[in-house]
Amino acid sequence: MTRLAIDGPASSGKSSVGGRVAAALGYGFLDTGLLYRAVTRAALNQHLVSAPTAAVVKSVAPQLEKIAQIVDAELLEGGAAIVIDGRSYAAAELESAEVEALVPLVAALPEVRDALRGVQRRIAGRGRAVLAGRDIGTVVLPDAPHKFFLDASAEARALRRALQRGHAQGSTEHAQILAALIDRDREDRGRAVAPLRAAEDAITIVTDTLTLDEVVAKIVGAVQR
């Protein structure tokens, strides 16, 4: 069973790179952030969370854990279909502002992480797979034979994201994206459970000055060697 772990901060290109690497190798691909997002979306749909605060989210941890236990994903080339209780969640509905505000709090709950760790291992165990996330190489698949950590400065990631969304360099939107990324990095690296960090045996690729194709070629080359 060949498994590939790709970790890195928000907007480091994990999903684009992971999807392309999976396609090049003929593997399935799972962006694991979508699992946390789907749990969050399902909780919102069930009106479980009345406000996006840590205290409110913690008070419904047992219910969130139950949802996380029944998440599943079918790995397809270039993406995955996320399903909870027979309902599938499209990527677009997992990217709403409501989900964005709540998902870091949901992802910080040990109960949710424990449940999703089992889910991720089960999915990865079904066949050859690339998993992208924050703690794949360190916690979810510590025995994965291939681990990569994509890194880039917050400035480079913010500029990339701003241009992708059609905002000019130096615009107010660009500044807002940079500020949000710095906050997100602090949350990801500073959380008590499974903080973002490179596994000791991961190959770190700094992507500031690399194109998507170059990053994909480095990873595919390393796996094929």
Is residue 82 part of the contact set for ligand C5P (CB under 6 A)?
Answer: no
Both tokens assigned to 225:
């060697």
Instruction: Pick the binder of ligand C5P from 3, 134, 147, 174 (CB under 6 A).
Output: 134
Please report, for the chain, how many H helices and E strands are present, in that order.
Answer: 9, 8
Is residue 12 part of the contact set for ligand C5P (CB under 6 A)?
Answer: no
Nearer to ligand C5P, 37 or 174 (CB): 37
| Residue 39: C-alpha distances to residues 102, 106, 111 (Å) | 10, 8, 12
Is residue 137 part of the contact set for ligand C5P (CB under 6 A)?
Answer: no
Is residue 37 part of the contact set for ligand C5P (CB under 6 A)?
Answer: yes
Nearer to ligand C5P, 76 or 168 (CB): 76
Min separation Cβ 153 and ligand C5P, Å: 18
Is residue 104 part of the contact set for ligand C5P (CB under 6 A)?
Answer: yes
Nearer to ligand C5P, 124 or 205 (CB): 124
- Encoded amino acid at 62, one letter: P
Min separation Cβ 104 and ligand C5P, Å: 4
SS3 content of the chain, % helix, strand, coil (to 5): 50, 15, 30
Dist. CA 46–CA 29, nearest whole Å:
28
154 pairs with which residues across the strands? none
Strand 129-133 to 28-31 pairing: parallel
Is residue 19 part of the contact set for ligand C5P (CB under 6 A)?
Answer: no
Give me the residues that bind ligand C5P (CB under 6 A), please. 10, 32-33, 36-37, 103-104, 107, 133-136, 188
